[in-house]
Structure 1
Amino acid sequence: MQNQTKDTNGNKKIRIDKDTFETIYQMYWEKVYAVCYNNIREIEPAREMVQDIFKSVWERRHELELENVNNYLIRSAKFKTFEYIRNKVSQQQHICIKYQDCTHSSNCTEEKVLFNNLKEKVDILVDTLPCQCRRVYKMSREQGLSNKEIAAALLISERAVEYHITKALSVLRVNLSNYSS
């Protein structure tokens, strides 16, 4: 690739422009897709992840200087699949709690009261969050939207969505610590 520079240690760095991006895309898209697909075994989400990764590379082309493109893209694919799995598990747990059936419990009434108290406390805490943080949290946890969908709906970056969700969960964690079992 022609668009190479050297850092102070003499390591080659690749700057991204239109030509290098196209070359990188052609060389690595299949490998990145394979990493995504092999981790989640779902075609469409894997394709979306690949597009997100390359979109991010393109959007950050002015600040990116890559020493090892292969490692960078594979690491990005692993992070994307981890995020996808984490969100999917979180969403499934949320659904399980929301529709919890306590037929297996001997003290169902007590559990329902505790659950309702906890839900009320969570709702109150969520209402105290800053506006954008609250909106992002509710779209994620109540509507079950992905970070990408939230980012598109609110016209913010996926990183901003992740920041708001992390902030909301941190507030909840701190204020609900006495509810842990």
Structure 2
Amino acid sequence: MADIKSIDSLTSISIDKKNFEWIYNLYWEKVYAVCYNSIRETEPAKEMVQDIFKSLWERRENLELEKTEHYLVRCAKFKSFEYIRNKISREKHMDLKMQDCKMSTNCTEEHILFNNLKEKVSTIVEKLPCQCKRVYKMSREEGLGNKEIASSLLISERAVEYHIHKATNMLKLSLASYAI
């Protein structure tokens, strides 16, 4: 195994279990610091670090790393940007919903119905099969496209479409009797 200074001077490094553990132990704090300093939220930053290293492990057979630290920092910056983009998008959506609610005479009732519907959707999503739930959440909650999801989960785009279709059908069936 290479020492700390020589890992990034190597032309490339293949990732086996031993190298992965070594890279993780060496860089996880730095990757976490980049994520945390970008978003200032502990739990999401920890999740991003786990996602980055999970992706690294899942792609180990097809990935030859050059400048490992730069690669991981770039991944952390990308994940942080993605998180901020999705958070802003969710906040804009909620702001628009609240503006609509303020214009409405039945604001309190609509707000309660909206929260009930949101809770029911969350409950249904949590009951979905594992892969289906993961794909649905990446698509609807994180705002990722089918290609990004397929790449991240190492499945085909067709499989992503299948899982989204399955999830939306389950939601439609479960919410058919829900009165709005």
TMscore range, shorter length: 0.5 to 0.7
Distance 1:74 1:156, change over 3 A: same
CA shift digits 1:121-157 (9 cap, x unpaired) = xxxxxxxxxxxxxxx78985xx74676xxx9xxx966
- Matched residues in 1 for 2:22 and 2:58: separation? 16
- Matched residues in 2 for 1:76 and 1:93: separation? 26
1:171 alignment partner in structure 2: none
1:45 alignment partner in structure 2: 44
CA shift digits 1:79-117 (9 cap, x unpaired) = 00000000000001111112224879xxxxxxxxxxxxx
- Matched residues in 2 for 1:53 and 1:139: separation? 15
User: Is 2:92 the counterpart of 1:93?
Assistant: yes
Alignment of 1:8-87 (within 5 A): 12-87=11-86
Ranges of 4+ aligned residues in structure 1 off by more than 6 Å: 136-139
Distance 1:97 1:79, change over 3 A: same
The alignment of Structure 1 onto Structure 2 pairs a total of residues equal to 118
- If asked which structure has higher relative contact order (CA below 8 Å, sep 6+), I would say 2
Distance 1:43 1:102, change over 3 A: closer
Distance 1:158 1:97, change over 3 A: farther
What letter corresponds to residue 50 of structure 1 in structure 2?
V
Distance 1:80 1:55, change over 3 A: same
**SS of corresponding position for 2:13:** strand
Identical counterparts, % of pairs: 60
Q: Which runs of 5+ in 1 are unaligned?
A: 3-10, 105-135, 165-181
What letter corresponds to residue 67 of structure 2 in structure 1?
N
Distance 1:63 1:137, change over 3 A: closer
What is the TM-score with the length of structure 1 in the denominator?
0.54
- Deviation of the 1:18 alpha carbon: 0.3
**SS of corresponding position for 1:12:** coil
**SS of corresponding position for 2:85:** helix
Root-mean-square deviation (CA), in Å?
A: 3.6
